[in-house]
Amino acid sequence: MKNALLFLLFFAAVYLIPLGGRPLVTPDEFRYAEIPREMLASGDFVVPRLFGEPYFEKPVLGYWMTAAAFSVFGVNPFAVRLPAALGTGLTALFVMLWVFSAMHDRRQALLAGLMYLGCGMVYALGVFAVLDSPMTMCGTAAMVCAFGYLQRERPASVRAILLALCGVFCGLGFMTKGLPALAGPVLGSLGYVLIEKRWKELFLMPWLPLLFAVLVVLPWGIAVHRADGDFWRYFIEVEHLQRFSSGGGSQHPQPWWFLLPFFFGGVFPSALLLSAGAGSFRAVVRRMASVPLYRFSLFAAVLPLILFSCSSGKLPTYILPCFPPAAVLMAGFVACALREHQKSEKILRLLFDVCGCVAAAAGVLTVFFCIAVQSDLVSGPAGFAAVCGLAAASGACGAAGGALLLLSRKRAVRVRLWFFAAFFMIPCAVVPFFISDALNESKMPSGVFGKVRRALDTDPERLVVVTTPALMHAAAWEFSTSGIRLLDAVGEMEYAHLRAKKENRVSPLMTRAEFARFLRRKEREDVLYIHWSDRPSADIRDVRPASVFTTSEITAKYYPAERKRSGAKLK
């Protein structure tokens, strides 16, 4: 019970408390916030839309989760990020259930859950509003069920139920982000079945999960096809086949090795605990090789990594489903080392002492340095004070975490593991609240847009925002409008642009000449033109804005329908 409470405290401090501590980051967080907002505004929960246009890059379940969070907690950054955080926490629970059901060891199961939550890549995506964490949750649950089915000692009825549940979770994962959700359970099961030479399973195992996955997807799949017949064509052809195989023409083209540094770097700081087996690596690996759980986990971690590396388009977020089985392997390695070799405890104690000393010393020095340069903050470059505040907060948290580790020197290793967790928990819970002022407006423009919105005092329904692809998601979210037009560049709205032209509708894309004619109309909506301050704006010489809002990076020009308002400048 005590360990469960400590685990919940760790999860709340690292993943829940920081969610509302910083503004949304462009473009991803604003995109995955704006689509559910438009769902709630329009009442259409079948077809995902961005700026009122069909947006078919992802299925609908992730947007439903965010819309549900909006309904409960309001439309705010905390609710936007909550599905990712809860998905991460549930994934950790599935990892613990997986380990406990196979090894019947509560401590090892708890260690696996903590090591998953302690992976840098898991943390980065668990407090960031993207769909990879909920998708990984579904994939991990499917892996747990698939592995449970492959254990022959279970009754046939239980194995059938597990296989059906595997299909349900695969269907939910597909509805979150598509076929990548199936990589872990499918490839993990395939590799395990082949290495075990259980050839019959190749023909018997797939059908029940496939049936239940189809049953889960089918209601919405039929509904979205009836509402918009082009969804499935675009989603399968463009978002899967072209992205995987179209070479330099795909989105995010990268070399084959691109994902490897993110995987091997993303398992830290949890991977520091692997030093426990430094003196007995071969013996521990040989013992682990005889355990079915670790064989399955190895395939579930490595084969999807290879598959995603073969894709022509790559993003670091793609490999998040590899981390739950990796956490199972890491926890097994540490647990096996601690059980079999007495030197492992000494190595971990040395690790904790070194981390504590380094963190305490570096933290204290950082805080004193920030205090020493405090007198230069006023005359320093723009943003220097905010960066210095972030550094001071990070240094103080590091010093506190290091002090905790050093004060726990006489405690048992399993107890010091919690202090090691607190060593990372403190900065994760505190530092995000100091990040927003230290980053530039281009990544977190909410502060600038909020000032403009309050100064305009206009109805969002009559406001047309003309902007660039990089700022379009943030503008739509901050001004609560789907009336977004893009000047000279269409970005990820290319499909919507081509489709609007084909259907003889107004396209989101607007040329400079069209923008000038739009502003010269006698009867029109209010117009807000937002662009980068260091880039030239549209050449409109005979139409002057009523208000100009300028900051260090962003400029917003306001053209009201009634041109009797006095100009203003906001710095």
What interhelical angle do 77-103 and 292-310 show, nearest 10? 140
* Confidence at residue 331, expressed as pLDDT on a 0 to 100 scale: 96
> CA of 530: how far to CAs of 25, 189, 444, 448, in Å?
17, 51, 15, 11
Inside any domain, residue 49: no
Give the pLDDT of the chain (571 residues) as one tens digit per residue.
788 898 999 999 999 998 988 889 888 999 999 999 999 999 999 999 999 899 999 999 999 999 999 999 999 999 999 999 999 999 999 999 999 999 999 999 999 999 999 999 999 999 999 999 999 999 999 999 999 999 888 888 999 999 999 999 999 999 999 999 999 999 999 999 999 999 989 988 999 999 999 999 999 999 999 999 899 999 998 888 887 776 544 567 788 899 999 999 999 999 999 999 887 888 899 999 999 999 999 999 999 999 999 988 888 999 999 999 999 999 999 999 998 777 888 899 999 999 999 988 988 888 888 877 765 544 455 556 667 777 888 888 888 888 988 888 888 888 888 888 888 888 888 888 777 655 667 788 888 888 888 888 777 778 889 998 989 999 999 998 888 999 888 888 999 989 988 888 888 898 888 888 888 775 667 889 998 876 655 556 567 788 888 887 888 888 887 644 444 444 3
* Confidence at residue 248, expressed as pLDDT on a 0 to 100 scale: 44
Under 8 Å between Cβ of 181 and 240 = no
Under 8 Å between Cβ of 448 and 441 = yes
* Confidence at residue 567, expressed as pLDDT on a 0 to 100 scale: 43
- Spatial CA neighbour of 390 closest among 332, 433, 357: 433
Specify whether 421 is located in the same domain as 507. Answer: no
* Confidence at residue 450, expressed as pLDDT on a 0 to 100 scale: 86
Domain that holds residue 534: 446-570
Specify whether 417 is located in the same domain as 498. Answer: no
Specify whether 266 is located in the same domain as 387. Answer: no
Specify whether 418 is located in the same domain as 501. Answer: no
Inside any domain, residue 17: no
How is 499-513 classified by DSSP, letter by letter?
HHHHTT---SEE-HH
Specify whether 174 is located in the same domain as 319. Answer: yes
- Structural domain ending residue among the three candidates 380, 411, 434: 434
Under 8 Å between Cβ of 35 and 50 = yes
In this structure, what token pair is assigned to residue 366? 């950082």
Q: Is 390 left (phi over 0), alpha (psi -120 to 50) or beta?
A: alpha
Q: Phi and psi at residue 469, in whole multiples of 5°?
A: -55, -30
Strand pairing category for 53-54 and 49-50? antiparallel
Distance in angstroms (rounded) separating the CA atoms of residues 287 and 277: 12
* Confidence at residue 429, expressed as pLDDT on a 0 to 100 scale: 83
Specify whether 332 is located in the same domain as 382. Answer: no
Specify whether 473 is located in the same domain as 493. Answer: yes
Inside any domain, residue 238: yes
Specify whether 357 is located in the same domain as 491. Answer: no
Quick one: 462 exposed, middle or buried, by C-beta within 10 A (0-12, 13-18, 19+)?
A: middle
- Structural domain ending residue among the three candidates 413, 434, 455: 434
Specify whether 206 is located in the same domain as 122. Answer: yes
- Spatial CA neighbour of 205 closest among 239, 153, 157, 159: 159
> How many domains is the chain built from?
3
Specify whether 158 is located in the same domain as 266. Answer: yes
With 0.85 as the threshold, say if the pTM is over it: yes
* Confidence at residue 340, expressed as pLDDT on a 0 to 100 scale: 79
Specify whether 203 is located in the same domain as 287. Answer: yes
Residue type, 62: G
How is 186-208 classified by DSSP, letter by letter?
HHHHHHHHHHTT-HHHHHHSSHH
- Structural domain ending residue among the three candidates 321, 341, 361: 341
Distance in angstroms (rounded) separating the CA atoms of residues 97 and 110: 9
* Confidence at residue 172, expressed as pLDDT on a 0 to 100 scale: 97
Specify whether 146 is located in the same domain as 218. Answer: yes
